[in-house]
Structure 1
Amino acid sequence: MDELWEEALGQLREKLGKQNFETWIQPIRMRARDGAEITLEVPNKFFRDWLMEHFLTSIQETLSILSQQNVKLSVTVNQQLQKSRALEKKPEREKPKPSRVNNLIPKYNFENFVVGASNQFAHAASLAVANQPGDHYNPLFIYGGVGLGKTHLINAIGHRVVEKRPALKVFYLSSESFMNELIGSLRRDRMDEFKSRFRNVDVLILDDVQFIAGKERTQEEFFHTFNSLYESRKQIIITSDRFPKEIPGLEDRLRNRFEWGLIADIQPPDMETRVAILQKKAELEGVQLPHEVALFLASHIDSNVRELEGSLTRLGAFGSLTKTPITIELAKEVLQNTLRGAHRELTIENIQKTICDYFDIKIGDLKAKRRTRNIALPRQVAMYLCRKYTSTSFPAIGYKFGGRDHSTVIHASKTIEKKIKEDPHMEATIDKLEKNLNVKR
């Protein structure tokens, strides 16, 4: 090996880190060196393109400093490198992946999932898919904010399928893992293995699909994977933090396919559900949680299940380690930072109920097709407040109001904003409603 290149490798290992070095630098071979002109060899075209975009500058700078001249680099492809490296590594071939179940998180199942108004539809859809994968609701697309139970539900589906139909192959992974496996397969020139792995499953579960947005090659491969599975009537389950139309950078052809099946959202849990979640968590962890403490926690941490459960875990651990009974006073002391940072995020259901109580109408009226003024105005006000005080997208709000289009929600919001500025009576109405919702303008 050329002494200059050997010395450069040592510096690049320190500069780029072990993982980047072993993945992208170690496979390179120096083919030729003619003064300041150096030719490097890489295993395939994808490797070359990635190297030139992400690491070529670092290599060039390192070689220039070591050789004390302005090095000019060229990179060529030599597919024999791939074969020789494969032979070198043959004794250490990676172990085959399990064929039945892969990556499912053991603790997430239907038995410990707490059902409430905020997640009832998503839970019912998940049960239906788990009992008959590939037959109905394909794909199943579940969306909602962070920490609301999406990952719990989709893992529960996987576990139920494995339990009821053990012959089926289930595969769960995050979209980031999908992308990393794709990059690795391209680099090692093993795309046939990649395609076989993902297209020969019966249930594919992909978490946080929004992370592939803007990544052209990843979207391209997932598009073909989706088509292959769908045409074979294999079940596809996807989660995201938002409605398909609201994912920026997502290709239209994927967006359209995500809407072929059933879309279900999960909202922040209501008070009753939050208390039930705490009680279930306390039961599972063996924590003695008085009802008044559960009510206190549920009233102060009201938008994120993960934060709610994490608070109970910290409180339970403190009580156990210090042999202190759990009380509201202890909760205030142990969780003071969490309680100080907690904020109230209204749900669409909260707002709809408040509107109906104020205008003396029924929930069904808000979702009906009628456009009479005594219904249309409250509906517009409700949509306006939903958009203002929840993180829910326009399409998702429209769905909660009888499946209306997102443009209807946008129009309603703009209409009420205009009326607030022009009509003192409307401004007073909104003030009263916001007081009833315990929010401030």
Structure 2
Amino acid sequence: MSNLQNPPTLNSASPFGFWDGAVGTLSRELSPQQFKTWIQPLVLLSFEESDRLLTIGAPNRFKLDWIKKTFAERFQEMAVEYFGAPINIHFALALEGSSPIKPVATETAEPQPNPEIESGSPQNVSVEEQAFEIEDHSKLNPNLTFDTFVTGKANQLARAASIQVAHNPGTSYNPMFLYGGVGLGKTHLIHAIGNHLLKEKPNARIRYIHAEQYVSDVVRAYQQKAFDRFKRYYHSLDLLLIDDIQFFSGKSRTQEEFFYAFEALLSNKSQVIITSDTYPKEMAGIDDRLISRFDSGLTVAIEPPELEMRVAILMKKAANEGIPMSEDVAFFVAKHLRSNIRELEGALRKILAFVRFHGREVTIEVARTALKDLLSIQNRQISVENIQKAVADFYSIKVADMYSKKRPANIARPRQIAMFMAKELTQKSLPEIGELFGGRDHTTVLHAVRKIADERAHDSQLNHEIHVIEQTLKA
């Protein structure tokens, strides 16, 4: 959101402009799991113009306390940016039965079907439609190619399928649906497909677009009565690459228009490639007929990168920057940064900036110094106790079950997962971990660690669950 030179009058619509913008900004700043856990459940409870008091509601006391502690300052910054003046932001419990305030209709609201618009024809183009334009270029990043994509067990199937689609667009795996957590390489792969096709067929009509931009195009087409032009553009593409389609959630008109575009493109043997943070059938707020279409082609997961892959990524990217990194240093960094590739790249940028500024070589000690703030935050936030609570919450058991001698499967397995994560994410020894799990012997912890590590190597669902818990711990 940009600063406004003339702050808006605080009329009844103003708080909703702020709220929509703030939620949209946080959806881009946070990982999908963090956004879904902390921001999505919030509601705008009230706005008192005379006191310039805006009240945000949280569903329970735990989330209320966390939001106040973690996001209050960010909400205040966004309020000052939007209103051009300080706003008092209050956080409260949104008790069952309480109702959030509802916005009055505005031009930026999600459009509803309009028979008059649908019946427009090219022979009778309005002035508004003449003014409606869509950026008619691919939006591809030329640096994101198959050659620059580091492959490992976590993404080798997705890469192989992407290469197959790039060589046979519209015939192999149409549509192709890639899903996985933030920063795992989904966007890189779909850009690589687009860049390959553009090289093979320079005149191909290709468009990469983030789902939020597609929503904006639908809104503008609705406002300017220009759906004919909108449809002519999107229905005529040879390759449509649409990123983060989970942002379509709850937007009925956007979903309707995308359904028509989807059907037209597949009918024309054009390729459609979609990414999401979630498996299609697990997406909330998406029409069943769209989910059915998404599931009709090839659905491929991209998992969090394993240790060896993280090491390879660091070494390759450092070499590309002209500053070689030894395997020892890469292992040190990779062991501390586990969640995604984007986090690794950020750490690498910090290290490279440090060595260039100080004229040093890349050593473990230099890496430790360059990343001290990042490492201290992680070490401070993640403890065995935090892991036990996060795992217990995820699997809907009691924290006390982590220490108990109970052994039913619904308790024993989460306990083993928590032990595995404690070994992976903390500096605790096996005996120390065993002590924190009710005085268990270190051999019990070792058995749990090996068992979960072996299962994780071939169980994508378990891998996904552990990744989600890690993201929650780092929220």
TM range (shorter): 0.5 to 0.7
Q: Which residue in the other structure is 1:237 paired with?
A: 273
8 A Cα contact 1:301 1:342, kept in partner: no
Q: Which of 448, 457, 461 matches 1:434?
A: 448
Tell me the C-alpha RMSD between the 2 structures. Answer: 3.8
In 1, Cα distance between the equivalents of 2:252 and 2:303? 31
Normalized against structure 2, the TM-score is what?
A: 0.57
Secondary structure of 2:323's aligned partner: coil
Distance in structure 1 (CA, Å) of the matches to 2:213 and 2:356: 37
Partner of 2:409: 416
Aligned residue among 114, 130, 141 for 2:177? 141
Verify: 1:209 aligned to 2:202, yes or no.
no
- How many Å separate the matches in 1 of 2:413 and 2:346? 41
**Amino acid of the structure 1 residue aligned with 2:409:** I
Question: What is the one-letter code of the residue matched to 1:335?
Answer: L
Using the TM superposition, give the Cα deviation of residue 214 of structure 1 relative to its aligned residue in structure 2, in angstroms. Answer: 1.1
Cα deviation code 1:94-133 (max 9, x no counterpart): 77743xx421122211110001000000000000001110
Please name the residue that 1:260 is paired with.
296
Separation of aligned partners in 1, 2:7 and 2:321: 49
On the 8 A contact 1:209/1:238 being kept in 2, the answer is yes
Write the letter of the residue equivalent to 2:105.
Answer: E
Contact 2:132 2:224 in 1 (8 A): no
Q: How does 1:367-382 map to 2 (within 5 A)?
A: none
1:128 and 2:164 aligned: yes
Give the total of aligned pairs: 301
Report the equivalent of 1:249: 285
CA separation of 1:415 and 1:281: change in aligned 2, threshold 3 A = same
Aligned to 1:179: 215
In the alignment, is residue 163 of structure 1 matched against residue 199 of structure 2? yes
1:218-237 residue pairs with structure 2 within 5 A? 218-237=254-273
**C-alpha distance 419-333 of structure 1, shift in aligned 2 (>3 A):** closer
- Alignment partners' CA distance in 2, 1:420 and 1:274: 27
What does 1:37-52 correspond to in 2, within 5 Å?
Answer: 52=104
Give me the whole-angstrom Cα distance separating, in 2, the residues matched to 1:157 and 1:163: 10
Q: Which residue of 2 is the match for residue 352 of structure 1?
A: none
Aligned to 2:237, the other structure's residue is in SS state coil
3-state SS, counterpart of residue 225 of structure 2: coil
Match of 1:53 among 96, 100, 105: 105
Letter in 1 for 2:277: D
Query: Which residue number in structure 2 is paired with residue 277 of structure 1?
Result: 313
Contact 2:176 2:299 in 1 (8 A): yes
CA contact (8 A) 1:116 1:269 kept: yes
Any idea what the Cα deviations from partners look like across 1:207-248, whole Å, max 9, x if unmatched? 000010111111111111111111121100000001001111
Q: Answer yes or no: is 1:115 the counterpart of 2:151.
A: yes
The residue that corresponds to 1:379 in the other structure is: none
Sequence identity percentage: 37
Return the offset for 1:341: 4.2
Counterparts of 1:4-23 in structure 2, within 5 Å, are 12=8
- The alpha carbon displacement at 1:271 in A equals 1.4
Aligned twin of 1:357: none
Structure 2: distance between partners of 1:331 and 1:228: 52
Residue 300 of structure 1: CA displacement?
1.1
Asked if 1 retains the 8 angstrom alpha-carbon contact of 2:315 and 2:326, the reply is: no
Equivalent residue in structure 2 for 1:302, among 333, 338, 354 = 338
Gaps of 5+ in 1: 1-9, 21-49, 57-78, 344-386, 392-413, 422-426
Map of 1:198 onto structure 2: 234
Gaps of 5+ in 2: 1-5, 18-101, 109-119, 380-389, 395-406, 415-439, 454-465, 470-475
The alignment partner of 1:309 has SS state of helix
